[in-house]
Amino acid sequence: MLGTLKAWRRRWSERDWRQLPVSVARKLLQPFPDSLYLRLGYRAFFGVWPSYRNPRSFNEHIHAYILRCRDPVLRVSADKVHSREFIARQVGSHLLVPLLGVWDSADDVPLASLPRPFVLKPTAASGLVHFVGEQDDIDEDELRAIMRHWIRRDYSQLHREWCYRGLPRRVMAETMLRTETGGLPADYKAYVIGGKVRFLQVDRGRFAHHTRNIYDAQWQPLPARWTLHKHDDDPRPACLEQMIETAETLARPFEFLRIDYYIVDGRLYVGELTNYPGAGFERFIPYEYSLHIGAFWPAARKGE
């Protein structure tokens, strides 16, 4: 019992406790319609009631986007297989992480023969991933159980994210990108509202001590945090202009889109496309900065 309690404490000490109200609300509010579900979740997380009819903050705009926009292009970006095809058409397949395969069933994934290192992920979900390194010992039965859970899970019900509804649920494998020292590369993300990059973020230590910096399009640090604590300033990427141009090209059919990148040996890779980052449950600190970023959105809706 004591060992179990210690393990529980360790697991929770590694989580962001600020997400706890959302997790509890998610369980309690499952029977509610989408608008009420998001509204009550917003109140639990941010401590204020949102306005989805007249959104002002970036988070309100994300939730309003979830509730009102039914443009089929959102389903293209939500499906990791279709998004790869879209990226290849728009900016070239040379920017894609090498694909090792896509399977409808967890039992069909050839775990023993996949070239290592590789990454497994579901094609119709966000934030779920499993890394397999060159020397990793894996329990195939356990890993297949994880993939079966991915395929069974309807991700659209987690935060009522419309774009995932009805998508084919599959498993894919990609080559694992590594830095010169053998570690995982930093995550770069560009936020495009109304056709323009409004800010970028850099995540480091995503699977250990997770930190995050945010910058404007000129790579000047912004006077705010985006949920997580900051790390030391990141050097300006040599491919920043390419990153911005690529993001704005990919986002042309979208009112809003987040484009995720990796940079390895100076080469830019497009990772994924995201319609609703954090399902609207990320936090600008101070809160006023969410209003600053949200002010770009009305012009995006008008196509300005």
> What is the domain partition of the chain in residue ranges?
50-96+183-304, 98-176
pLDDT above 50 (res 220): yes
**In the chain, % of residues over pLDDT 70:** 90
Asked if omega into 286 is within 30° of 0 (cis), the reply is yes
Sorting pLDDT into bands at 50, 70 and 90, what band is 160? Answer: very high
Which helix (H) or strand (E) is 211 found in, with range?
strand 211-215
Angle at 241 between CA 235 and CA 247, to 5 degrees: 110
Q: Is the pLDDT of residue 181 over 90?
A: no
23-32 long-range contacts, CB within 8 A, separation 24+: 26/158, 26/159, 30/157
- For the segment 106-141, what is each residue's pLDDT rounded down to a tens digit? 999 999 999 999 999 999 999 899 999 999 999 999
Residue 50 above 60 pLDDT?
yes
The C-alpha angle 248, 249, 255, rounded to 5 degrees, equals 60
The angle subtended at Cα 232 by Cα 276 and Cα 289, nearest 5°, is 40
Distance in angstroms (rounded) separating the CA atoms of residues 25 and 17 = 14
Inter-residue contact 198 to 192 (CB < 8 Å): yes
Amino acid letter, 70: R
Give the pLDDT confidence score for residue 30 in this predicted structure.
Answer: 75
For residue 301, the model assigns a pLDDT of 72
3-class SS of residue 226: strand
Amino acid 190: pLDDT:
98
pLDDT band of 25, cuts 50, 70, 90: low
| 151 within 8 A of 122, measured Cβ to Cβ | yes
In words, the CATH class of domain 50-96+183-304 is alpha beta
What span, in angstroms and rounded, lies between the C-alpha atoms of 169 and 124?
6
What is the predicted pLDDT for the residue at 105?
98
Whether residue 1 is predicted with pLDDT greater than 60 in this model: the reply is no
